Amino acid sequence: MEEAGAAAAAAAGEAELNWSRLSVSTETLESELEARAEERRGSREALLRLLLPHNRLVSLPRALGSGFPHLQLLDVSGNALTALGPELLALSGLRTLLARNNRLGGPGALPKGLAQSPLCRSLQVLNLSGNLFQEVPASLLELRALHTLSLGGNQLQSIPAEIENLRSLECLYLGGNFIKEIPPELANLPSLNYLVLCDNKIQSVPPQLAQLHSLRSLSLHNNLLTYLPREILNLIHLEELSLRGNPLVVRFVRDLTYDPPTLLELAARTIKIRNISYTPYDLPGNLLKYLSSASNCPNPKCGGVYFDCCVRQIKFVDFCGKYRLPLMHYLCSPECSSPCSSASHSSTSQSESDSEDEASVAAHRMQKVLLG
């Protein structure tokens, strides 16, 4: 073991110690690290990278904090860790922590005081994929310096709204979980470039995601999506959108029905469309409240309004000449067929109007659209 470790260290250079795939126990590695730390005391060159993946570790070696205080990267992936102990808190300059494919996820999986430790300011890359987390630990949401967070292949049920605290986040990987909803707060990450939510149970995308102006890649394949919000067009830097494995097919469009309008809706629609003047004393209270919820129809050739009862319409928009993305519209009536065409247009006119709408989206805005 000692000869193999020394050879690995020599091959990797003084700044890195690589003891991967030696299949050693925590006890054996503990003694070796203590010996290595003793050798390095007084040395001017600090050890910056320690690679310990694919061994038989069940806990972090105690020698970590005392013997290697200048570590910038620690890789303990592919072990049998159930907790990352307090030794981690002593690594005040750690920038990258790789702990994927362990058994982390239970109570105490992360050390107490993590959010108050120097790691809160230094840690930039954290990979905890392939573990047993059922929820995102609250302490992780305080690591404000994080650029990359990977929690793929866990058992996450949801994304907490507090994810918006990670303002420096550039890459978020949450694929392979059991997530059903995307919180609107996710849109409050100004630097997010890569968002991976594939292989979950997501049924819809909140329109707020259009606020992710830095987003370049969005992976949503293998979910339960039947449409995308029209606001997705506002992601001007998006280069890759992966949608394969979702039920984005015509049969779901046929299921969209419009219930007959209520008398309340008919009354409110008439007042709004005909611009009938009124005072608070002229109308019942429930009608006054309902009138305040009116929204203008997005069809520029229609002067109508819609309320909480609206027509849902799927429109397929061509992004790159080959794939047509299903975008959701909310219209005022079944006769208002498209935000880009009047009800009297023929199917040919409809197609031409759609083409005009699609032409307004520059082709270079979407490099890859993966539907199948």
The residue extents of the domains of the chain are 16-253, 258-317
Fold (topology level) of 16-253? 3.80.10
Specify the range with the lowest mean pLDDT, choosing from 142-156, 159-173, 257-271, 352-366. 352-366
CA distance 144 to 163: 10
Specify the residue for token string 């059922």: 134
Calculate mean pLDDT across residues 59-81.
88
Q: What percentage of the chain carries pLDDT values higher than 70? A: 71
Q: What is the mean pLDDT of residues 299-314?
A: 65
Q: Find the mean pLDDT for residues 43-62.
A: 84
pLDDT band at 340 (very low <50, low <70, confident <90, very high): very low
More confident residue, 345 or 21: 21
Look over the chain and give the mean of its residue pLDDT values, rounded to a whole number.
78
CA neighbor of 102 nearest in space, from 50, 173, 52, 161: 52
Residue 363: the pLDDT is: 35
CA atoms within 13 A on the CB side of 1: 17
pLDDT over 70 (residue 177): yes
Structure confidence at residue 39 as a pLDDT band (50, 70, 90): low
The dihedral over CA atoms of 338, 365, 125, 199, expressed in degrees to the nearest 10, equals 50
The 3-state secondary structure of 268-292 reads HHHHHHCCCCCCCCCCCHHHHHHHC
Nearest Cα neighbor of 223 from 155, 176, 160 is 176
- 198 or 263, which is more confident: 198
| 300 alpha-carbon distance from chain centroid | 33
Q: Which residue has the tokens 């299949």?
A: 23
Q: Higher-confidence residue: 291 or 97?
A: 97
Provide mean pLDDT across the span 4-11.
40
Is the distance from CB of 135 to CB of 158 less than 8 angstroms? yes
Cβ(291)–Cβ(279) below 8 Å:
no
- Which strands sit side by side in the sheet containing 311-318, from one edge to the other? 228-229, 324-331, 311-318
Statement: the pTM of the whole predicted model exceeds 0.75: no
CB distance 93 to 50 below 8 Å: no
Which is more confidently placed, 332 or 3? 332
pLDDT band at 5; cut points 50, 70, 90: very low
Among 321, 335, 361, 355, smallest CA distance to 231 is for: 361
The segment with the largest mean pLDDT, out of 33-47, 205-219, 335-349, 355-369, is: 205-219
- Higher model confidence: residue 176 or residue 304? 176
Candidates 51, 63, 57; CA nearest to 25 is 57
